[in-house]
């Protein structure tokens, strides 16, 4: 067990610092940064008809749609106070020169949903590369860091793309379902 853990850590360190020409991006993706905390944060308030209980139930439907195992995500399920929160996970990848997609690590993040009459707010924050210790993704934004690796831009692009897809599917699934009448 210890050997497998050490091997995984060594492989992750290697993949984090190896430079693959096909993967290098020169521009840092435009991820949203909270001005107060200086952390990556996706947040939006969405106007949607419904009371907090209805919106909570719609969000639960979305969690079941979006996450393979939604019960492993939840930390807070509070319908009375209109709150859902949990820890999401996503893999990041690199592609070698042969076109083989390799796992480059696991990013964990916090997802929070809060519900009020006719609106809800989602917040995605606390992005970290999972490892033996916390590695905040905000470090990937610092091109002045001596350990800077151009692959970090690609990883940030993957995170940004995934978070935008997550928010888009959430907004779509939270809309009321139009009932079709059978006119024959």
- What tens digit of pLDDT does each residue of 153-180 get? 999 999 999 999 999 999 999 998 877 7
46 lies in a domain? yes
Domain containing 137: what range?
33-174
Q: pLDDT, tens digit, for every residue of 101-159?
A: 999 999 999 999 999 999 999 999 999 999 888 899 999 999 899 999 999 999 999 99
- 85 and 76 Cβ atoms separated by less than 8 Å: yes
pLDDT of residue 5: 40
Which of 79-88, 96-105, 113-122 comes out lowest in average pLDDT?
Answer: 96-105
pTM: 0.81
123 lies in a domain? yes
Q: How far apart are CA 148 and CA 139, in angstroms?
A: 9
Which of 51-60, 77-86, 112-121, 127-136 comes out lowest in average pLDDT?
Answer: 127-136
- CATH code where residue 92 lies: 3.30.530.80
pLDDT of residue 24: 53
User: Residue 97 pLDDT more than 50?
Assistant: yes
pLDDT of residue 10: 42
Report the percentage of the chain scoring pLDDT > 70. 86
27 lies in a domain? no
Q: What DSSP line would sit under the chain, residue for residue?
A: -HHHHHHHHHHHHHHHH---GGG--SSPP---B-TTT-SB-EEEEEE-SS-HHHHHHHHHHHHHHH-SSGGGTEEEEETTTTEEEEEEEEEEEEE-TTS-EEEEEEEEEEEEEEEETTEEEEEEEEEEE-SSS-EEGGGGG-TTSTT--THHHHHHHHHHHHHHHHHHHHHHHHSPPPPPP---
25 lies in a domain? no
Task: Report the domain count for the chain.
Answer: 1
Name the band, by pLDDT with cuts 50, 70 and 90, for residue 1. Answer: very low
């Amino acid at each position: 067990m210890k050997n497998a853990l050490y091997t995984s850590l060594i492989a992750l360190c290697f993949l984090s610092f190896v430079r693959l020409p096909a993967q290098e991006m020169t521009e840092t993706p435009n991820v949203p940064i909270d001005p107060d905390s200086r952390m990556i944060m996706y947040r939006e308030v969405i106007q949607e008809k419904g009371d907090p209980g209805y919106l909570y139930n719609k969000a639960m439907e979305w969690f079941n749609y979006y996450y393979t195992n939604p019960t492993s995500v939840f930390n807070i399920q509070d319908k009375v106070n209109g709150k859902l929160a949990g820890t999401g996970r996503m893999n990041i990848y690199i592609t070698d020169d042969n076109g083989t997609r390799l796992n480059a690590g696991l990013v964990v993040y916090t997802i929070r949903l809060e519900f009020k009459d006719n609106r809800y707010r989602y917040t995605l924050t606390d992005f970290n590369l999972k490892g033996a210790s916390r590695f905040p993704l905000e470090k990937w934004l610092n091109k002045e860091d001596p350990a800077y690796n151009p692959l970090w831009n690609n990883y940030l692009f993957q995170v940004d793309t995934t978070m935008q897809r997550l928010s888009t599917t959430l907004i779509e699934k939270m809309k009321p379902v139009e009932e079709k009448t059978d006119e024959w």
